[in-house]
């Protein structure tokens, strides 16, 4: 029960890594708000958590919209009274927007992957500082450190921005007891919108541990940063990539 008594919001909690984090957090005693743009998948995750004896609710949000963040924060406070943990996990891959040179795709990636993290962090921090602090975990990527041939430049840019924005937020909110860290997953199963769909074999070959990750590999790292075990850790970067970035 490493999160006993804590209230946690997980964006993108309806699928993939966010789903794994929502389930793990609930098992560790947190009250979990599964926040996602997909209500059907999100409701199913919440039903399953409740069936296992956990506490969770679904809230629909488009994380690129500030008014929807305000509604999510209000709904969380109304249901559970406080916010201790925010995982800014929702994101889209470059393949969701196509043309790497079109301004529309660039703007969409920046809005969903980057601006969302700014909005969620500042609004959650405003509540966390009223209760003595909290932990914010922002999901970047190995692509927040390096570029790539086939990757969408907007994806790399958004994930790099999440990395350095989180350090600025860690410095800004540290005196209020709010920790802000980033997690950098390597190759994992394809995102809903198709990243890596045809490149599994190549990803395995390029990863020193010779496998791609599973969502729970990342969820355990996020759990550590969410829990009080990491109470002196802020502004840091947790890479969970099977050794890919070490090469
Ligand atoms: N899969 C990988 O290989 C990989 C690697 C590194 C980093 N990441 C990052 O990890 C995070 C989770 O990725 P995943 O693989 O679990 O992806 P996923 O596609 O399985 O899940 C992402 C979730 O975010 C939700 N979402 C998308 N846009 C949204 C919006 N505007 N508002 C609210 N919710 C929205 C989706 O509905 C989905 O449930 C993302 O930020 C992604 O960029 C993924």
The domains located in the chain, with CATH, are 7-239 (3.40.50.720)
Is the distance from CB of 124 to CB of 136 less than 8 angstroms?
Answer: yes
CB distance 112 to ligand 1 below 6 Å: yes
Which residues touch 67 (CB under 8 Å, ≥6 apart)? none
Output the CA 175–ligand 1 centroid distance in Å. 31
Atom of ligand 1 nearest to the CA of 188: 3
CB distance 108 to ligand 1 below 6 Å: no
Atom of ligand 1 nearest to the CA of 189: 1
CB distance 191 to ligand 1 below 6 Å: yes
CB distance 219 to ligand 1 below 6 Å: no
Q: What is the pLDDT of residue 195?
A: 66
What is the band of 216 on the pLDDT scale with cuts at 50, 70, 90? Answer: very high
Average pLDDT over residues 80-88: 99
CB distance 192 to ligand 1 below 6 Å: yes
HEC-encoded secondary structure of the chain: CCCCCCEEEEECCCCHHHHHHHHHHHHCCCEEEEEECCHHHHHHHHHHHHHCCCEEEEEECCCCCHHHHHHHHHHHHHHHCCCCEEEECCCCCHHHCCCCCCHHHHHHHHHHHHHHHHHHHHHHHHHHCCCCCEEEEEECCHHHCCCCCCCCHHHHHHHHHHHHHHHHHHHHHHHHCEEEEEEEECCCCCCCCCCCCCCHHHHHHHCCCCCCCCHHHHHHHHHHHHCHHHCCCCCCEEEECCCHHHC
Choose one of 9, 14, 17, 24 to mutate for the ligand 1 pocket test, by most ligand atoms within 8 angstroms of C-beta: 17
Average pLDDT over residues 17-34: 98
Output the CA 22–ligand 1 centroid distance in Å. 13
Q: What is the pLDDT of residue 155?
A: 97
Return mean pLDDT, the chain.
97
Atom of ligand 1 nearest to the CA of 159: 43
Label residues 227-246 b or e (16+ Cβ within 10 Å = b): beebeeebebebbbbbebee
Q: What is the pLDDT of residue 197?
A: 63
| Residue 55 reports pLDDT greater than 90 | yes
């Amino acid at each position: 029960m490493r999160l006993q008594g804590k209230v946690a919001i997980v964006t993108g909690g309806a699928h993939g890594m966010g789903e794994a984090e929502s389930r793990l957090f609930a098992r560790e005693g947190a009250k979990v708000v599964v926040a996602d743009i997909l209500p059907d998948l999100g409701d199913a995750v919440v039903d399953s958590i409740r069936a296992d004896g956990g506490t969770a609710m679904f809230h629909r949000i488009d994380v690129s919209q500030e008014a929807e963040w305000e509604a999510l924060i209000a709904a969380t406070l109304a249901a559970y009274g406080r916010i201790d943990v925010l995982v800014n996990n929702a994101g889209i891959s470059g393949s969701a927007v196509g043309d790497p040179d079109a301004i529309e795709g660039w703007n969409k990636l920046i809005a969903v992957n980057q601006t969302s993290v700014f909005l969620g962090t500042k609004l959650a921090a405003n509540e966390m500082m009223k209760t003595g602090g909290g932990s914010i975990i922002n999901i970047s990527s190995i692509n927040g450190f390096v570029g790539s041939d086939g990757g969408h430049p907007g994806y790399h840019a958004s994930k790099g921005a999440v990395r350095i924005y989180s350090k600025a937020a860690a410095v800004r909110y540290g005196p209020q007891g709010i920790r802000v860290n980033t997690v950098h997953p390597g190759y994992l199963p394809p995102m809903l919108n198709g990243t890596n769909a045809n490149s599994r074999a190549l990803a395995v070959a390029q990863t020193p541990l010779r496998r791609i990750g599973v969502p729970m590999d990342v969820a355990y790292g996020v759990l550590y940063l969410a829990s009080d075990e990491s109470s002196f850790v802020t502004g840091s970067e947790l890479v969970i990539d099977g050794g890919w970035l070490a090469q």
